Structure 1
């Protein structure tokens, strides 16, 4: 028992050191840019640094037991240098994997954010047509000829999605729908269904499931230990700036307690694929 306690203390100490190094690095990088930046740029740099620091602070609190995965507040508010940052944690197996989710589940999720049932079905089929390898058109879907007829700037890839932002290229998708769908989707669960025990409140509501007993849990013993973290400022003046990460937790490896799977920059309203 004592050996286990010593091991736990050692991991905590390593994490404190790691977090301090990360936060100091963020701060030093920010200072380097602040010396030549305009006032507006300075405020943006401070904000981005605060979001990144809030993510790492949350990870430390999660590993050190200060946050209980079974009942974490959503969002969790972190105070970083006078900036209030809202941090949302979610397990990827509680989301819909865009490359594996069944058509039935996908349609139900889209219907929750698109009021027109026919539009929701069209978009669902178009997404499935985008990711499948053939040129066969689903009943309400879209393949190359439909994109050309609509003078769309992109053509269906006929392969799995590489990045969630690629969803914005699908015929029928728009920014408003994408921003509502994005928090419900992932590329990292590898499942055709959604783990209801790991699903957040918005996903449970989208699937039409009972939310009376929802307790804020985002991870359970059966979860895949891959989590999504979204950090955004509470201030309405800073709306539109956020940081999204997907990480694989490896708590038994003190040298690398997590691995980056994806990192989305600070301005999600500007498509990451623009110009690609």
Structure 2
């Protein structure tokens, strides 16, 4: 009798464990299902956001035809700020600025490169070595600058590829240059380009990082100029020239533009993208596309809506 009762007790424990196990499995399956639904929703939102960003970029490319019109006749000026555009019932923030707001990696002279690298936090000697490596990468010869790097130095580091000995074809190529760490590249990327093809920089659109690369300039001078520039933009006035920079800060001929698009996503996220186009030639498909990417923008931010002004 006791043996029979013990067997019943064991069976009851087993049944309880089976119930617990089934509950755990059911809970796990429910969690997986909820996660799958959430992931599907996130993917759908991301794809929808990217499609709207693409639409905004293409629209802004069309609006470049209006770039010389007065501000009252062009709601989407190339002033570096994002302006609202309604498409498919959604608000897409679009904008553009001349690409020569950045320092061209293939055109910058030794002094500008040295100053830029030091403004990014490198000590003078370290900046000199990186600068010389950049010069060796882009020049056509195999002669090594004082602290630079040509094929021999790259082979000594165990790298299979030496210096290109030609111009940079993309900004990402800078990561292959001796002395360029991932952290340094991240700092430099927003200040540089390979698409401006100009030795000068347009100060009206240059970022703080670019302006700080001017030899001899102080952070206080740069911040004061940025403040004056913001005030002029807010009032619809021409941006004044800075009191520093000399011949390096010059408007130049704007034939290449960086276009921006941004969309707010449910939940507080954003879909963002930008592309660079050259308008010096036009094909049946439109302007020449030089680069395109999705990710964080470096525009001047969103312009104030009419009801927000004042």
Q: Name the TM-score, length of structure 1 as normaliser.
A: 0.65
3-state SS in 2 of match to 1:244:
strand
Gap runs ≥5 in structure 2: 1-38, 67-73, 240-249, 297-310
Give the aligned partner of residue 96 of structure 2.
89
How far is the alpha carbon of 1:267 from its aligned partner? 6.2
Confirm or deny that 1:67 pairs with 2:76.
Answer: yes
Q: CA deviation at 1:129?
A: 0.7
Tell me if the contact between 1:247 and 1:258 (Cα under 8 Å) persists in the aligned partners.
no
Cα deviation for residue 227 of structure 1 reads 0.8
Partner deviation per Cα, 1:165-198 (whole Å, 9 max, x = no partner): 1111111213332232222222233233324355
CA–CA separation in structure 2 for the residues paired with 1:113 and 1:75: 27
8 Å Cα contact 1:91-1:223 kept in structure 2: no
Q: Does 1:135 align with 2:129?
A: no
Of 257, 264, 273, which aligns to 2:292? 264
Q: Confirm or deny: 8 A CA contact 1:248 1:258 kept in the other structure.
A: no
| 2:82 and 2:260 in contact (8 A); partners too | no
Report deviation, 1:97. Answer: 1.5
Distance 2:251 2:153 in 1: 45
In structure 1, how many angstroms separate the alpha carbons of the residues matched to 2:122 and 2:86?
37
- CA offset digits 1:106-140 (Å, max 9, x no partner): 22222222343333222221111100111211122
Q: Select between 225-234 and 133-142 the one with higher mean Cα deviation.
A: 225-234
What's the secondary structure of 1:168's corresponding residue? helix
Inter-CA distance 237–160: structure 2 relative to 1 (3 Å threshold): farther
Q: Deviations over 1:134-167 (max 9, x none)?
A: 1211122111122222223542111111111111
Q: Which has the larger radius of gyration?
A: 2
Is 1:249 matched up with 2:251? no
Give the superposition deviation at 1:68. Answer: 3.4
Contact 2:138-2:164 within 8 A present in 1 as well: yes
Give, in whole Å, the separation in 1 of the partners of 2:264 and 2:113: 30
Q: Give the equivalent residue in structure 2 for 1:22.
A: none
Give the C-alpha shift of residue 205 in structure 1.
3.3
Aligned counterpart, 1:42: 44
1:178-189 aligned within 5 A:
178-189=185-196
Q: Using a 3 Å threshold, how does the CA distance of structure 1 residues 121 and 229 change in structure 2: closer, same or farther?
A: farther
| Partner SS for 1:67 | coil
Match of 1:228 in 2: 258
Q: Which residue of 1 aligns with 2:155?
A: 148
Aligned residues: 226
Question: CA RMSD, aligned part only?
Answer: 3.7
- Unaligned regions of 5+ residues in structure 1, if any? 1-36, 269-276
Distance 1:83 1:163, change over 3 A: farther
